[in-house]
Amino acid sequence: MGVTAVRLHESKGSRMRVHLGSDHAGFEMKEALKPYFERRGIELTDVGPDSDESVDYPEFAEKVARGVADGDADLGVLICGSGIGMAIAANKVPGVRAATVTEPELAKMSRQHNDANVIALGGRYIPRQTAEDILDAFFDTEFEGGRHQRRVDEIADLEQR
C-alpha cells in the first residue's frame, strides 16, 4: 500500500547507483557531467542517447524511471531542454517521483520532503556548475520521513487507483 523511503546504498558502504538519460537537447550537458559522477564515485549507467541527433525524450525518461522503479538504480538523472518533459514522462512510471529543479535548494527540498528519486534538469537553462551543485544537493540529502512519509504514501496510493 505505502512506499518505504529509499535508503541510498552509499550509506551502507557501497557505491550509489545512478541511471542517467537525456534527449538531444540535454545530450551536451549529459556528456559534460560524466566526469562529475566519476569524481563522486557513483556507479553510472548511461541509458542514452549516444549523440545529439533528434530523439523523443519519453523513451529515455522511461529507461531511467524503470531503472529506478525496478531497483536497478538508487536514483535517476534526466536532462532535456527544460527538464519539464522528462519529469512528466518519468512520473508516469509507478514508484517514480521526478522533480524538475533549477537550483540546489529545490533539489534538497525534493529529497527531504518528497523523497524524489529522479531529478530532471534543463540543459538549455542551467550552467554545468549549477547542475553539479544541484546534483550534490540531491545526492547528499536524505528523505526526512515523519509527516512527509504520509504524503509520499498518498502519492503511491494515487498510482494504484
Which structural domain range is residue 105 located in? 14-48+55-160
Report the CATH number that the domain containing residue 129 is assigned in CATH.
Answer: 3.40.1400.10
pLDDT tens-digit profile, the chain (161 residues): 333 333 444 445 689 999 999 999 999 999 999 999 999 999 999 999 999 999 999 999 999 999 999 999 999 999 999 999 999 999 999 999 999 999 999 999 999 999 999 999 999 999 999 999 999 999 999 999 999 999 999 999 999 88
Cα four-point dihedral sign 123, 43, 90, 103? negative
Query: How crowded is the C-beta side of 35, counted as CA atoms within 13 Å?
Result: 4
Query: How crowded is the C-beta side of 144, counted as CA atoms within 13 Å?
Result: 11
Instruction: Report yes or no on 83 lying in a domain.
Output: yes
Alpha carbons 132 and 117: distance in angstroms, whole number: 17
Q: Could you give the number of structural domains in the chain?
A: 1
What is the pTM assigned to this prediction?
0.91
Angle 27-40/128-140 helices, nearest 10 degrees? 50
Which residues are tagged catalytic?
A: 80, 113
Instruction: Report yes or no on 7 lying in a domain.
Output: no
